[in-house]
Amino acid sequence: VSQGTSMRRMHIQGDLDLWDRGWASGGFMADCRIEGQGNSGTQQQWFSRNDSWGSWTGSNWNMTFVGAQNPPAGDWPHPAYTVIADTPLLREKPYLYVDRHGDYAVMVPALQTGGTRGTSWAGRATAGKSVSLDRFYLAHAGRDTAESINAALGSGKHLLLTPGVYHLASSLRVTKPGTIILGLGFATLVPDRGTSALEISDVGGVSVAGIVFDAGPIESPTLLRVGEAGGAADHSKNPTFLYDIVLRVGGATVGTASACLVINSRNVVGDNLWIWRADHGAGATWEGNKSKNGLIVNGAHVTIYGLFVEHFQEYQTVWNGEAGRVLFYQSELPYDAPTQEEWQHGGVNGYASYKVADGVVSHEAWGMGVYGVFIHSP
From the list 332, 341, 342, 364, the catalytic residue is 332
User: Three-state SS for 147?
Assistant: helix
- Cα torsion at 97, 125, 127, 268 (round to 10°)? -60
Please state, in angstroms and as integers, the Cα–Cα distance from residue 24 to each residue in 32, 44, 163, 305, following that order: 20, 7, 27, 20
By C-alpha distance, which of 32, 54, 59 is closest to 43?
59
Residues 6+ apart with CB under 8 A from 357: 318, 319, 320
Residue 62's contacts (CB-CB under 8 Å, 6 or more residues apart) are 44, 45, 46, 80, 82, 328, 330, 367, 368, 369
* Burial status of residue 142 (CB atoms within 10 A of its CB: 0-12, 13-18, 19 or more): exposed
Q: Known catalytic residue: 332?
A: yes
DSSP 186-215: EEEEEETTSS-SEEE-S-S--EEEEEEEE-
CB 172, CB 154: distance < 8 Å: no
Q: Count of alpha carbons within 13 Å of 104, Cβ hemisphere only?
A: 8
Give the residue numbers annotated as catalytic, written as ranges: 332
